[in-house]
Amino acid sequence: MTTQTTRNFFNPPEHASNQSTFTVVLAFAVNLVIAIAKSIAAVLTGSASMTAEAAHSWADAGNEVFLLVADRRSRKPRDRRHPMGYGREAYVWSMFAAFGLFVAGAAVSFMHGIQQLITPEPASDFVVAYVVLAVSFVLEGISFSQAWRQAHRMASQLNRATLAHVVNSSNPTMRAVFAEDAAALIGLAIAFAGVLAHQLTGNPVPDALGSILVGVLLGVVALILIDRNRRFLVGESVQRDVDRLAVQMLLDRPEIERVTYIHLEFVGPERLYLVAAVDITGDFSETHVAVELRRVERELEDNPLVEEAVLTLSTPEEKSIQP
């Protein structure tokens, strides 16, 4: 674990939070435009897959509103009633977004596909569907590229694979946009296959199956997002690489000789509650050590990633933790 990696993680660029907001705003604008276009195409063509994709995009656009609320509310500074800040608001509102994806996206797509299997309706104007799908793929690709760049930048700082970082990241808005955009691209491919099969065979069954598959896809993504937010709300432990980075950050300070205990918990997107047992360098009086500990705590809390730091003294027999 290099000192440079530690500095990269615990000294994020000032524009990092703005990147999250931009990612969500871009995704909202893209999904709103696509939702309108798909809805028009669904009416003109009568395609079940296009109807499912329209429901998918409307659900995504609505979810971005929840994610914007999550991003804004989680940044409020802590106060007396919320000593750990408002960071967990992000997980609550992101949970609402995931439920919205499940209900408005997955359920509607699945049920419409079933309905089309039971009472199939003919489709027409396939060219309209292909044009809308192609434009949608380009726009969704732009949004996904932004989400990928944001995730890749932070993953590189932690020496993680990008997908591993998306799954384990404490940033639920980035994860939600990434997952929704990835699902959108897969859903567009499914819709294209369903529409094409319908046109070539004249049979609406593949189109209806495409709608059902889109619903299943959205349901799986929604359940994954719900589970990740649930884990952060109940206090999931951080990844081992973050633990090691925190130990290295403490040992890089000249006042700290060793670390014997470390506890880290995410209390919001990229916001940590840090508890550690440390051995202060030198052999000073109790009063001096107490003052030194409080000073180090306050300096640690100046770091944008540390919401609160609590330090206590190690005993001589406690084993040191190596980064």
> Which pair of structure tokens corresponds to residue 62?
């609505």
Least confidently predicted of 97-106, 137-146, 159-168, 170-179: 97-106
- Return the CATH number at 261: 3.30.70.1350
Asked if 154 contacts 170 with a C-beta cutoff of 8 angstroms, the reply is no
Do strands 256-268 and 271-280 pair parallel, antiparallel, or not at all (unpaired)? antiparallel
What sign for the dihedral angle of Cα 299, 302, 305, 308? positive
Strands 271-280 and 306-313: parallel
pLDDT digits (tens, 9 = 90+) for 76-94: 888 888 888 888 999 998 8
User: What are 212's two structure tokens?
Assistant: 């059902």
Cα separation, 206 vs 214, in Å, equals 12
Q: At 93, list the tokens.
A: 């509102």
Q: What is the pLDDT of residue 282?
A: 78
Q: What is the mean pLDDT of the chain?
A: 85
Residue 255 to residues 10, 138, 281: CA-CA distances in angstroms?
18, 54, 5
Residue 28 CA, distance from chain mean position: 15
Q: Are 44 and 51 contacting, i.e. CB atoms less than 8 angstroms apart?
A: no
- 35 and 173: one domain? yes
Place 312 in a pLDDT band, splitting at 50, 70 and 90: very high
Is residue 318 included in any domain, yes or no? no
Residue 320 has pLDDT above 70, yes or no: yes
Q: Give the per-residue pLDDT at 275.
A: 94
55 and 153 inside one domain: yes
Domain, as residue range, for 192 = 3-233
Residue 105 has pLDDT above 70, yes or no: yes
- On the CB side of 226, CA atoms within 13 Å amount to 13
User: Does position 234 have pLDDT exceeding 90, yes or no?
Assistant: no
Residue 133 sits in a domain whose CATH number is 1.20.1510.10
Mean pLDDT for the stretch of residues 252-263: 92
Which one is predicted more confidently, 231 or 2? Answer: 231
The answer to which of 65-69, 102-106, 148-152 has the lowest mean pLDDT is: 102-106
Q: What is the pLDDT of residue 296?
A: 92
pLDDT tier at 5, thresholds 50, 70, 90 = low
| 81 part of a folded domain | yes
Residue 270 has pLDDT above 90, yes or no: no
For residues 46 and 40, give the distance between their C-alpha atoms in angstroms, rounded to a whole number. 10
Clarify whether residues 216 and 125 are in a common domain.
yes
Return the half-sphere exposure (C-beta side, CA atoms, 13 A cut-off) of residue 267.
Answer: 22
pLDDT score recorded for residue 54:
86
Amino acid letter, 116:
Q
Encode 89-111: b = buried (16+ Cβ within 10 Å), e = exposed.
bbbbbbbbbbbbbbebbbbbbbe
Mean pLDDT of 274-284: 88
pLDDT, residue 244, reads: 87
Asked whether the beta carbons of 190 and 214 are under 8 A apart, the reply is: yes
Is residue 3 over pLDDT 60? no
How many domains in the chain?
Answer: 2
Q: Which of 189, 208, 233 is the last residue of a domain?
A: 233
